[in-house]
Amino acid sequence: LNNEFRTEDGTVIVVPPTLLISAIGVIADVRRTITMDLKRPGNFVYVVGETYDECGGSRWYGVLDLLGSNVPIVRERAREVCVALEGAIGLGAVRACHDLSDGGLAVAAAEMAFAGDLGLDLDLGKVPGPVRRSDRLLFSESTTRFLVEVEPERAAAFERHMASANVVVG
User: Which amino acid is located at 150 in the chain?
Assistant: V
For 119-148, the pLDDT digits (tens) are: 999 999 999 999 999 999 999 999 999 999
Average pLDDT (48-61) is 92
- Does residue 112 or residue 1 have the better pLDDT? 112
How far is Cα of residue 160 from the mean position of the Cα atoms in its chain?
Answer: 21
**pLDDT category of residue 1 using cuts at 50, 70 and 90:** low
Q: Which helix (H) or strand (E) holds 92?
A: none
d(CA 57, CA 68): 6
Comparing C-alpha atoms, which of 81, 65, 44, 66 is closest to residue 163?
81
Average pLDDT (102-128) is 96
How far is Cα of residue 55 from the mean position of the Cα atoms in its chain?
Answer: 14
- Per the prediction, the chain carries an average pLDDT of 92
What is the pTM (predicted TM-score) of this model? 0.84
Neighbours of 24 (CB within 10 A): 5
**pLDDT category of residue 2 using cuts at 50, 70 and 90:** low
**pLDDT category of residue 46 using cuts at 50, 70 and 90:** very high
Comparing C-alpha atoms, which of 100, 87, 112, 14 is closest to residue 51?
100
Is residue 140 a contact partner of residue 53, using CB atoms and an 8 Å limit?
A: yes
For 58-84, the pLDDT digits (tens) are: 888 888 888 888 999 999 999 999 999
